[in-house]
A and B are shown apart, each in its own frame.
Chain A
């Protein structure tokens, strides 16, 4: 396949396939906890870290050897704990912690951008994602992050499920709510920041929330929601890669659009299925017609 003859494309595809598992898996919890904005808040925080790195690199040249994304991942990881702290501190307006952090992070990020050279090509790639910039080190770093995150999801599956469903009851049953919440925030932070590599800051939430949102419509139990989300995520990544390659489109944008298409198809299919279930006599007519 022509596609795989280029090293960077191979790396990007491997990264995409890994993120196609772990981003929708994180998305499942993000969606059922009703905090979908967290993905956007985290990705914009990563941008702040990236801008900070670019600024530092403007006078410490040795820093430009490193992918600024790593600074972004570190920033996001730290800020996730700040969000959790604010959520706990201001219990009656928990949802405000996300916009408070997001607005401040973007503000700080833009200040760093102006301190560094202003808007350049690097930054553009981070905003919209680029498969041209990934190398073998990135593949390994994101591979480790994906593997560890997935392992933690499996190990703390029961606590994460209980917390998402009924935090008060989990607390009453002796689940260490605060620590599990912190762990979850940390995982989501690094998964979101890693996803920036191919999706870009503005499009990360597409791979986090859209496959999970589609899975929500079809899953009959919580385990199957994971499977559906991962299947939808992988489908979006694979289709997005090939379509963007052959038609010379932005990979992140294409993955996001295909994720949206999957969601739309699922919602429409659900509507049709619901109608058939509701009116069995009409469904019978339909099949009769189909048989004729």
Chain B
């Protein structure tokens, strides 16, 4: 927090109500460039709501969200934030669209209105497909791929605009353990080698803790556990109860931790 230039995402006193129900209660969180954050919580804990607020899809919230120092309500560089939705593969399987066309969509926001893709963009689409080992499938119909393959295409779509941060909502649902592990390894590689900041939202605490550098537990309130080691030593039950006060650790700055 001392080093504000390194802060990528800042959430202060964020609360969200859906009708009369309090979904998110006074969330505080800081994510720095290069973090690999695991955001865990049981079903119905408000994970997806939090993600939607971070992405600017919900605007009726209390508190503050800042991306790169700019309040989310005034933030316009959304292509800097890649997003792979939990619902991405619920598209209409009969939609006649190729893998290439789906990945190209990832550039549309960045290009802006009335601009068309040029050769450099097409090159970029190829690179993104290569990054997920799906280049060979670029002319294939999206609906004909397996769930795992579709998911890789959606990740390529998120990567194609060269985002600084990638938010993945439940990316390993329906993926077998071995594939999930190689998927986490790849994420970890992108995080270390390419410096992409990652926010991984999942209800599956197991495998992911090996790869992430920070863990945050959400259940209406956010219990930020700092490093993975501290998370493992702590009592997970805190996430599922209500009487635990917020622990706010900074990964790199132990001096200020509490």
Q: Which A residues contact B (CB, under 8 angstroms)?
A: 32, 34, 155-156, 158-159, 161-162, 164-166, 168-176, 215-216, 219-225
A-B contact pairs, 21 of them (CB 8 A): A158-B104, A159-B108, A159-B113, A161-B97, A164-B95, A165-B97, A166-B88, A168-B87, A169-B85, A169-B157, A172-B81, A173-B108, A174-B109, A216-B96, A219-B96, A220-B96, A220-B141, A221-B141, A222-B96, A222-B97, A222-B101
- The digit string for B65-106, where 1 denotes a CB below 8 A from any CB of A, is 000000000001111010101011001101111101110111
Q: Please name all residues of chain B whose beta carbon is closer than 8 Å to the beta carbon of A215 when the two chains form the complex.
A: 96
Q: Which residue on B lies nearest to A228, using beta carbons?
A: B96
Q: Please name all residues of chain B whose beta carbon is closer than 8 Å to the beta carbon of A155 when the two chains form the complex.
A: 114
Q: Which residue on A lies nearest to B99, using beta carbons?
A: A221
Please report the C-alpha to C-alpha distance between residue A221 and residue B105 in the assembled complex, in whole angstroms: 14
Q: Please name all residues of chain B whose beta carbon is closer than 8 Å to the beta carbon of A162 when the two chains form the complex.
A: 105, 108
Of the four ranges (under 10, 10 to 19, 20 to 34, 35 or more), the interface on chain B belongs to 35 or more
Q: Please name all residues of chain B whose beta carbon is closer than 8 Å to the beta carbon of A170 when the two chains form the complex.
A: 105, 108-109
Whether the pair B108, A172 counts as a contact (CB closer than 8 A) is: no
Q: Please name all residues of chain A whose beta carbon is closer than 8 Å to the beta carbon of B85 when the two chains form the complex.
A: 166, 168-169, 172
Q: Please name all residues of chain B whose beta carbon is closer than 8 Å to the beta carbon of A221 when the two chains form the complex.
A: 96-98, 100-101, 139, 141
- The digit string for B109-122, where 1 denotes a CB below 8 A from any CB of A, is 11101101100000
How far in angstroms is the closest Cβ of chain B from A267? 13
How far in angstroms is the closest Cβ of chain A from B201? 14
Q: Please name all residues of chain A whose beta carbon is closer than 8 Å to the beta carbon of B110 when the two chains form the complex.
A: 173
How far in angstroms is the closest Cβ of chain B from A84? 18
Please report the C-alpha to C-alpha distance between residue A155 and residue B102 in the assembled complex, in whole angstroms: 18
Please report the C-alpha to C-alpha distance between residue A176 and residue B113 in the assembled complex, in whole angstroms: 9
Q: Please name all residues of chain A whose beta carbon is closer than 8 Å to the beta carbon of B81 when the two chains form the complex.
A: 172
Asked if B180 is at the interface of the complex by the 8 Å CB criterion, the answer is: no
Asked if B42 is at the interface of the complex by the 8 Å CB criterion, the answer is: no
Whether the pair A173, B78 counts as a contact (CB closer than 8 A) is: yes
Q: Which B residues contact A (CB, under 8 angstroms)?
A: 55-57, 76-79, 81, 83, 85, 87-88, 91-92, 94-98, 100-102, 104-106, 108-111, 113-114, 116-117, 139, 141, 157, 161
Whether the pair A173, B79 counts as a contact (CB closer than 8 A) is: yes
How far in angstroms is the closest Cβ of chain B from A184? 14
Q: Which residue on B lies nearest to A177, using beta carbons?
A: B57
Please report the C-alpha to C-alpha distance between residue A16 and residue B141 in the assembled complex, in whole angstroms: 33
How far in angstroms is the closest Cβ of chain A from B113? 7
How far in angstroms is the closest Cβ of chain B from A21? 19
How far in angstroms is the closest Cβ of chain B from A169? 6
Whether the pair B79, A174 counts as a contact (CB closer than 8 A) is: yes
Please report the C-alpha to C-alpha distance between residue A164 and residue B95 in the assembled complex, in whole angstroms: 9
Please report the C-alpha to C-alpha distance between residue A174 and residue B67 in the assembled complex, in whole angstroms: 14
Please report the C-alpha to C-alpha distance between residue A208 and residue B236 in the assembled complex, in whole angstroms: 56
Please report the C-alpha to C-alpha distance between residue A79 and residue B104 in the assembled complex, in whole angstroms: 33
Q: Which residue on A lies nearest to B117, using beta carbons?
A: A158
Q: Please name all residues of chain A whose beta carbon is closer than 8 Å to the beta carbon of B105 when the two chains form the complex.
A: 158, 161-162, 165-166, 169-170, 173
Please report the C-alpha to C-alpha distance between residue A216 and residue B97 in the assembled complex, in whole angstroms: 10
Interface centre among A169, A171, A220, by most B CB within 10 Å?
A: A169
Please report the C-alpha to C-alpha distance between residue A198 and residue B119 in the assembled complex, in whole angstroms: 43
Whether the pair A32, B113 counts as a contact (CB closer than 8 A) is: no
Given contacts A161-B105, A220-B141, A221-B98, contact A172 B88 (CB under 8 A): no
Q: Which residue on A lies nearest to B141, using beta carbons?
A: A220
Whether the pair A172, B83 counts as a contact (CB closer than 8 A) is: yes
Whether the pair A165, B78 counts as a contact (CB closer than 8 A) is: no
Whether the pair A161, B96 counts as a contact (CB closer than 8 A) is: no
Please report the C-alpha to C-alpha distance between residue A215 and residue B76 in the assembled complex, in whole angstroms: 37
Whether the pair B101, A34 counts as a contact (CB closer than 8 A) is: no
Q: Please name all residues of chain B whose beta carbon is closer than 8 Å to the beta carbon of A159 when the two chains form the complex.
A: 108, 113
Q: Which of A174, A224, A225 contacts B78 (CB 8 A)?
A: A174
Whether the pair B101, A161 counts as a contact (CB closer than 8 A) is: yes
